[in-house]
Amino acid sequence: MKAYVLDRYGKGRTLRLGDVPDPAPPPDEVLIAIHATAINQLDGKIRDGAFKPILPYKPPVVLGHDLAGTVLAVGAGVRGFAVGDEVYARPRDGRIGTFAERIAVHAADVALKPASLSMAEAASVPLVGLTVWQALVETAQLKRGQKILIHAGSGGVGTLAIQLAKHLGATVATTASAGNVDLVRSLGADVVIDYKTQDFSELLSGYDVVLNSLDGKTLEQSLKVLKPGGKLISISGPPDPAFAEAQGLNIVLRTVLRLLSAGIRRKAQRAKLKYAFLFMRADGGQLGELTKLFEAGVLRPVIDRQFSFGSLNDAIAYVDSGRAKGKVVVNVA
């Protein structure tokens, strides 16, 4: 089958389109023909080598974390899926590879595709959808009447986070450029801060939750808008000791990550706040919950551009540019 292969780590490297062996699913996996995949910033960071200490993929490796497609075969131990089912998934770490024509995915990571979404729309959902669910529902336990600040509201995570937060009954503030104000308001944002001309840390206060996906300076400024007992959740780092333990990292890496996050954890503790780093995990059950919300019209995907499979490197470059609003999708089939 055809797939895009990372031969060596390197910042900005292009992936090689070539032939790789067809996957042979074990008893607990399903074989899926990929109709569409999506590009995430995580793909670029892995390509650049930024995650080598904690995600030690050994090139040559096929990248890609999102898929929508059709089940071609099911393992003997799989229940709940049949040949021909339309599904979507974010394969678990260590088993990624959606920049390809086919992939074998653990059945626990797969869910039936929302019938209301096209393959391209469904492919835009898994990674960001699970990130948002795990941030707002699991970690923040966001409740009706609370206030949340979602940074980068026009991005892939932000566009879904705004919608889910509104569904959960929260008041939503977000940061965005002036050109994206209409977009984030259409998704449900109550307060929009133009990050180019306004300082969110001076305009907002008394918030219960902040979801950060930006740099360290923004992370620290976000402490100012939270009330005592508030939660600062970051998907862009720095990783904390709880993450290191969950990943089963060795004592050296645990120490390094403890030191990297020591500053923000101390500042949060002094302000009587809670800091958590979130690195999303694959979960077909949670995707099933998101399916219900898409089919009910509560959530809608936001897609900036679609590329052909032959132009996948161009799609990665576009995401690297930071100009995308919502998600960038690649049609494989």
List alpha helices for the chain, DSSP H. 41-48, 119-123, 126-133, 156-167, 181-187, 200-203, 216-222, 241-247, 251-260, 262-270, 284-295, 312-320
Q: Which residues of 89-105 are buried (b: 16+ CB within 10 A; e: fewer)?
A: bbbebeebbbbbbbbbb
d(CA 177, CA 152): 9
Q: What is the reported pLDDT for 142?
A: 98
d(CA 314, CA 307): 8
Fold of 2-125+301-331: Quinone Oxidoreductase; Chain A, domain 1 (3.90.180)
For the beta carbon of residue 312, count every other beta carbon within 10 angstroms: 23
With a cut of 50, which residues of the chain have pLDDT below it? none
Pairing of strands 207-212, 16-19: unpaired
For CATH 3.90.180.10, the residue range(s) in the chain are 2-125+301-331
Q: What is the reported pLDDT for 55?
A: 86
Architecture of domain 128-277: 3-Layer(aba) Sandwich (3.40)
d(CA 163, CA 236): 20
H/E element holding 275? strand 274-277
Q: What is the reported pLDDT for 250?
A: 87
Q: What is the reported pLDDT for 260?
A: 87
For CATH 3.40.50.720, the residue range(s) in the chain are 128-277
Please name which of 246, 248, 254 lies closest in space to residue 280, comparing C-alpha atoms.
246
What is the DSSP annotation of 132-198? HHIIIIIIS---TT-EEEESSTTBHHHHHHHHHHHHTT-EEEEEE-GGGHHHHHHHT-SEEEETTT-
Return the ∠ at Cα 13 (arms to 7 and 19), rounded to 5°: 40
What contacts 24+ positions apart, CB below 8 Å, involve 263-266? 264/216, 264/219, 264/220, 264/232, 264/238, 265/240
d(CA 152, CA 135): 15
- Here the tokens at position 168 are 């959960």
**309 CB-near residues (< 8 Å, 6+ apart):** 2, 330, 331, 332
User: Residue 61: helix, strand or coil by DSSP?
Assistant: strand
Query: What is the pTM assigned to this prediction?
Result: 0.96
Q: What is the reported pLDDT for 247?
A: 83
Q: How many secondary structure helices (H) and strands (E) does the chain include?
A: 12, 16
For the beta carbon of residue 155, count every other beta carbon within 10 angstroms: 25
Amino acid at 157: V
d(CA 218, CA 199): 10
